Amino acid sequence: MHRRRERSFWFPLLGLGFAVAGADKILGVRDYEALFERWGWSDSVMRLVGLGEFTGGVLVASRRHRWHGGMLLTATSGAVLTKELSRGDTGLATPRLALLLASVAALFA
């Protein structure tokens, strides 16, 4: 008997969330600019993080490219989480850790 593939909306939803957050950074939303400035990171780094999040989000939403997106988002989220922890921004680090874990889950989906 042929099993029907289960279609999940979780990874496309995760991808959409990352893509929107990445687009905000690429476009230079003021709150992100202030955050990255406080961390001592340049606008170029903010846009690079945004590009990683946007591209990773688009890839995670695709079943065919989910692994690649998971790798990109894991690397991007890991870098941001490291900075948040080093700055003592635990209010930001906790949700970022959840996003990092979701990115890792995309690797094994």
Question: In whole angstroms, what is the distance from residue 5 CA to residue 92 CA?
Answer: 36
Largest separation between any pair of C-alpha atoms in the chain: 58
80-93 pLDDT, tens digit each: 999 999 999 999 99
Neighbours of 1 (CB within 10 A): 3
Q: Return the pLDDT at 7.
A: 65
Q: Is 108 left (phi over 0), alpha (psi -120 to 50) or beta?
A: alpha
Tracing tokens 């941001």 back to the chain, one arrives at 80
N-terminal to C-terminal alpha carbon distance within the chain: 23
45-90 pLDDT per residue, tens: 999 999 999 999 999 999 999 999 999 999 999 999 999 999 999 9
Containing 64, the helix (H) or strand (E) segment is none
